[in-house]
Structure 1
Amino acid sequence: MTMLDDRQTAAPWPTAYPQGYAVVDVETTGLARDDRIVSAAVYRLDALGNVEDHWYTLVNPERDPGPVWIHGLTSDVLEGAPLFPEVAAELSARLADRVLVAHNAAFDWSMIAREYARASVVAPVEQRLCTIALAKELRLPLPNHKLASLAAHFGVVQQHAHHALDDARVLAEAFRPSLHAAARGGVRLPLLECRPLTEWSDSPVAPRVGYQPARQPNSWRPSRKRPACPYPNPGRYEKEKPLKQGMRVAF
């Protein structure tokens, strides 16, 4: 009997567990709050973690694609890709009525929520589940909490790291045995509420002197936006080689 066999779950399936999941991965132009999504993938799973279907899209970020050496998506590749508002409806159909599952889910959810806010659309996500948090709940003997380590633990072969579709596939395959292990052990899933952003502004208005605006609990406004770099990022700096136009340097 393999780990992936449903019969391993001897106890009745927990009635409190969700009825469906959307395993998500997004690649982005960076990690900051004003960065954009360049690709997204969703694997839809049923209540037992079985794959129903999958979907993938490129997204034109309308700016420099950022760390090309990580996600491999250049400006030329993304130039003809759809804008986020053009894929929002399809993404919504795949997220609706499901728990969003991601590795470091806080990041994926925050990027998705901001894109929806820019498009003036509410993301149809009410709860998220982070597979890092679930691995900790299960006390899996992992050397670290990287996706590659979780995949290796369950014997899942990663073919193309940092490609949204393959990362989502790997996570879906690793999530299923994690879900069954949680069900067997009576583990409460680490579900968190997702609060969609309700407003967006690329050009915050400076407040009047002495005026303190009330904070909106479900909203977020970005910091001052830097102009997009006109040069594509050529990749990592190589020791003893000269800097190249477009490299990002931090002091």
Structure 2
Amino acid sequence: HIQMFYTPGRIVTAHNAPFDVSVMRLTLDRYGIAAPRYQVIDTVKTSRHFLPKLPNHRLDTVSAALHIPLEHHHNALADSYACARILIAENEHFGEARIKSMMKLSKAG
């Protein structure tokens, strides 16, 4: 059933993607579900590239720098929303071409 969320051409966005990808894989393995293939954009990497002067690139720091509300940090839904808004803001300020050129979309799954 999870396959419908991982259709070809879809991109998974995560802040500190290696952690999130490992959790997704372990969870899928636990339930005997084959891990689908998808592309990942890690907003830690994009924020380090586009916002190098921040003191750190934690989700709350990047969100604050981009004026993105993050009222319930470490809540999965709130963190997901903030992560998506970070990528949208970077796309609006720096352009999709720059995001694609500064990082290779890695295959996961």
Q: What TM-score, normalized to structure 2?
A: 0.82
Which protein has greater RCO, CA pairs closer than 8 Å, 6+ apart? Answer: 2
Query: Once superposed, what is the RMSD of the aligned Cα atoms?
Result: 2.0
Asked if 1:180 corresponds to 2:92, the answer is: yes
2:33 to 121, 131, 151: 121
Displacement after TM superposition at 1:184 (Å)? 6.5
2:106 to 187, 192, 197: 192
Take 2:96 and 2:4, find their aligned partners in 1: how far apart are those partners? 31
What amino acid maps onto 1:192 in structure 2? S
Structure 2 residues without counterparts, runs of 5 or longer: none
Corresponding residue of 1:151: 63
TM-superposition CA deviations, 1:31-88 (whole Å, max 9, x none) = xxxxxxxxxxxxxxxxxxxxxxxxxxxxxxxxxxxxxxxxxxxxxxxxxxxxxxxxxx
**Normalized per residue, which structure has more helix?**
2
Per mean C-alpha deviation after superposition, the further-off stretch among 102-111 and 130-139 is 130-139
TM-superposition CA deviations, 1:140-172 (whole Å, max 9, x none) = 431101101110111011111111011111111
Is this contact kept in 2: 1:138–1:181, CA < 8 A?
no
Per mean C-alpha deviation after superposition, the further-off stretch among 107-116 and 91-100 is 91-100
Take 1:150 and 1:95, find their aligned partners in 2: how far apart are those partners? 27
TM-superposition CA deviations, 1:187-208 (whole Å, max 9, x none) = 41522121x3xxxxxxxxxxxx
Per mean C-alpha deviation after superposition, the further-off stretch among 102-111 and 114-123 is 114-123
Q: What TM-score, normalized to structure 1?
A: 0.39
Q: Secondary structure at the match of 2:106?
A: strand
Q: How does 1:99-118 map to 2 (within 5 A)?
A: 99-118=11-30
Corresponding residue of 1:165: 77
Corresponding residue of 1:222: none
**Normalized per residue, which structure has more strand?**
1
Take 1:96 and 1:115, find their aligned partners in 2: how far apart are those partners? 19
How many residues are paired up?
106
Structure 1 residues without counterparts, runs of 5 or longer: 1-88, 197-251
Q: Secondary structure at the match of 2:68?
A: coil
Is this contact kept in 1: 2:14–2:42, CA < 8 A?
yes
